[in-house]
Amino acid sequence: MTNSNVHLIDHPLVQHKLTLMRRKDASTNTFRRLLNELSSLMAYEVTRDMAMQEVEVETPLETMKAKIIDGKKLVFVSILRAGNGILEGMLSVVPGARVGHVGLYRDPKTLVAVEYYFKMPKDMHERDVVIVDPMLATGNSAIAAVERLKELNPKSIKFVCLLTCPEGIAALHKAHPDVPIYTAAIDRQLNDHGYILPGLGDAGDRIFGTQ
């Protein structure tokens, strides 16, 4: 990658599932299942540098020191509503993680993100945050979510999406160069309506069958 703060997750399983999701005739059921599977695969990469601690374990044969992660320190923050499509897969891999929600809608004329909901676990300053939203398009929602979360002073913030485009990466990187972006693909461009091309359409509509 040209930008070291962008992690392109190009594992064959991830790429395969993403291709199936892009198909316009993929049913809501199929789209949701694939998103779920894909999100759990992405979680491996996103959590690769999670802090671990040593605990004592008694095996049937001896006592040993072994490593565990403290999932409770991790917060997945879903940008509503499409972010919820990624949550289930992430939680299947880190079931102890806490979950926060940010409600933002895009003003259809200005494409600016407007906040209508914000609910986080306590003690955010002790936690590592992973923001999830399937599409990093204009970057406006991502930038607004990161700004709000930074007010709570978490230990770290990562941003995870399925798909992005050069415009989205540039916008988020310009506003928050310290936030790494994890994505399964970087598509060609943004269109005039803020959609990613070739993309996969409206992720929220496809997850919830509201198209």
Give the catalytic positions in this structure: 106, 110, 202, 205
Taking the complex as a whole, the smallest distance from the CB of residue 74 to ligand URA amounts, in Å, to 25
Helix (H, G, I), strand (E, B), or coil: what is residue 56? strand
Residue 141 known to bind ligand = yes
Site string for ligand URA, 134-153 (x = CB under 6 A): -x-x----------------
Give residues 116-135 in contact with ligand URA (rule: CB under 6 A). 135
> What residues from 10 to 69 belong to the interface with ligand URA (CB under 6 A)?
none
Burial of residue 11, with CB atoms counted within 10 A of its CB: 0-12 exposed, 13-18 middle, 19 or more buried: middle
For residue 152, the minimal CB distance to ligand URA (Å) is 25
Instruction: Supply 175's token pair.
Output: 């506003």
Q: Side chain identity at 167, as an amino acid letter?
A: E
Q: Is the dihedral of CA 125, 102, 31, 92 positive or negative?
A: positive
Q: Within 61-90, which residues bind ligand URA (CB under 6 A)?
A: 82
Q: How far is the CB of 186 from ligand URA (least distance, A)?
A: 13
Query: Exposure pattern of 42-54 as b/e (b: 16+ CB <10 Å)?
Result: bbebbbeeeeeee
Q: Is 199 in the site for ligand URA (CB under 6 A)?
A: yes
At residue 131, φ and ψ (nearest 5 deg) are: -85, 135
Contact 181, 136 (CB under 8 A): yes
- x/- contact string, 172-191, with ligand URA (CB under 6 A)? --------------------
Query: For residue 100, how many other CB atoms are within 10 A of its CB?
Result: 20
Which two three-digit tokens encode residue 69? 């992660």
If the CB atoms of residues 71 and 195 are measured against ligand URA, the closer one turns out to be 195
Nearer to ligand URA, 74 or 86 (CB): 86
Distance CA(189)–CA(191), nearest Å, equals 7
**Closer by beta carbon to ligand URA, 14 or else 207:** 207
Residue 205 Cβ vs ligand URA, minimum distance, rounded to whole Å: 7
Which residue numbers belong to the known binding site for uracil?
A: 196, 201-203
Which spans of this chain sit near ligand URA (rule: CB under 6 A)?
82, 135, 137, 194-196, 199, 202-204
